[in-house]
């Protein structure tokens, strides 16, 4: 068995598209509790209070919703070169870009379901202005306490037509490890959870209900405790945000979750994982059967139907 690679250090940022830019931005800043690092005509650059980079969420004006791109930061410039070489050989490369307001040159590629990814090493650090400096110097920004006050980017979930193809791709392209997966009775993979480091997952893919490509399921930021997730539920409730499901505990990965829709319809999660980490170097993927999945979430709650069908951009089932 190959040892963990760790050429890729961590999930860096996600670009999310919105056709209600101002409303989405107000949600992410005032209700979800992120901090805006900067803005240009097209995009706002956002981050959680302990994200060390300038941007972990790039919110971009668009005619629709869904994913712009996903970016991972590598462990070094050399690791970046190694990964690019692998991806080019796999035939999924797109090419280098100059960079962005939030990071230096980056390599673009696509996954087998046509989601766009980037890899980069040179980044822009968040430098707290005086009024945002923390009392303790080992965190990136003061705990400001605004809204849900999410701490850091945790993971995202994408939809794909063929999750098995994604599994092959992610383990080779990024050196990701599969930590958990759903094996359907029909032989297909229903879902797959991946990590490039010791977090239990940084990206997950589940099968697209409508069989279309390139869609987005949700993005997740971490808070420090389950109480923070419960508190988030009250904040969403009082601010008229649509709560889709939770708070509850996932059977898969054990995450304590809460899903809402931001104003443009993209699904957003607040989550806490407790003390769970994947430290074991020879971790064996946990495989859940369809029968096991029918037991519902950890404490028996049945998963709400929209969780299986709603993705962004939306699909008109009558036109498929």
Token duo for residue 69: 């791109």
| Contact residue for a copy of itself among 114, 188, 286, 309 (CB under 8 A) | 286
Q: According to CB under 8 A, which residues from 116 to 175 bind a copy of itself?
A: 134-139, 142-147, 151-152, 154
Residue 309 contacts a copy of itself per CB under 8 A: no
With CB under 8 A as the contact rule, the residue among 273, 310, 311, 315 that binds a copy of itself is 273
d(CA 83, CA 1): 20
Chain centroid offset of residue 251 CA: 19
Q: Which of residues 175-204 bind a copy of itself (CB under 8 A)?
A: 180, 197-199
Candidate residues 95, 275, 317, 318; the one interacting with a copy of itself per rule CB under 8 A:
275
List the one residue out of 108, 96, 91, 107 whose CA is nearest residue 165: 91
Question: CA-CA distance, 232 to 148, in Å (whole number)?
Answer: 5
Q: Does 74 contact a copy of itself by CB under 8 A?
A: yes
Residue 269, Cβ neighbours under 10 Å: how many? 25
Tokens of 183: 């094996």
Choose, by CB under 8 A, the member of 73, 115, 167, 215 that binds a copy of itself. Answer: 73
CB nearer to a copy of itself: give 149 or 315.
149
Alpha-carbon gap, residue 103 to 120, rounded angstroms? 7
76 binds a copy of itself (CB under 8 A): yes
Binding status of residue 104 toward a copy of itself by CB under 8 A? no
Q: How far is CA 183 from the centre of its chain?
A: 22
**Binding residues for a copy of itself restricted to 237-256, rule: CB under 8 A:** 237-238, 240, 243-249, 251-254, 256
> Measured from the CB atom, is 11 or 163 closer to a copy of itself?
11
- Contact partners, residue 311, CB within 8 Å, separation at least 6: 66, 159, 208, 209, 215, 216, 217, 267
Q: Segment 31-50, which members bind a copy of itself (CB under 8 A)?
A: 50
Contact status: 307 vs a copy of itself (CB under 8 A): no
């Amino acid at each position: 068995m190959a040892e963990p690679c760790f050429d890729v250090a961590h999930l860096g940022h996600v670009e999310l598209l919105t056709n209600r830019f101002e409303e989405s931005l107000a949600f992410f800043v005032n209700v979800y509790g992120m901090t805006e690092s900067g803005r240009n005509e097209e995009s706002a650059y956002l981050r959680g209070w302990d994200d060390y980079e300038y941007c972990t969420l790039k919110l971009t004006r668009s005619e629709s919703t869904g994913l712009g791109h996903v970016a991972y930061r590598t462990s070094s410039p050399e690791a970046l070169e190694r990964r690019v070489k692998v991806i080019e050989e796999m035939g999924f490369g797109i090419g280098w870009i100059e960079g962005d307001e939030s990071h230096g040159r980056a390599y673009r590629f696509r996954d087998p379901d046509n989601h766009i990814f980037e890899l980069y090493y040179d980044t822009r650090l968040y430098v707290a202005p005086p009024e945002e400096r923390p009392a303790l110097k080992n965190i990136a920004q003061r705990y400001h306490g605004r809204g849900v006050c999410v701490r850091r980017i945790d993971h995202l979930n994408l939809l794909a037509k063929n999750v098995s193809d994604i599994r092959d791709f992610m383990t080779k392209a990024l050196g990701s490890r599969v930590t958990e997966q759903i094996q359907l009775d029909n032989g297909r993979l229903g879902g797959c959870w991946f990590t490039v480091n010791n977090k239990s997952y940084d990206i997950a893919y589940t099968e697209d209900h409508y069989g279309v490509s390139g869609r987005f399921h949700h993005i997740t930021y971490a808070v420090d405790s389950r109480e923070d997730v419960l508190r988030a539920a009250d904040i969403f409730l009082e601010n008229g945000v649509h709560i889709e499901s939770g708070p509850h505990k996932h059977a898969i990965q054990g995450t304590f979750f809460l899903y809402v829709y931001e104003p443009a319809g993209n699904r957003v999660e607040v989550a806490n994982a407790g003390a769970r980490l994947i430290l074991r170097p020879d971790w064996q993927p946990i495989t859940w059967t369809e029968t096991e999945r029918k037991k519902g979430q950890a404490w028996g709650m049945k998963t709400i139907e929209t969780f299986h069908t709603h993705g962004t951009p939306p699909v008109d089932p009558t036109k498929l």
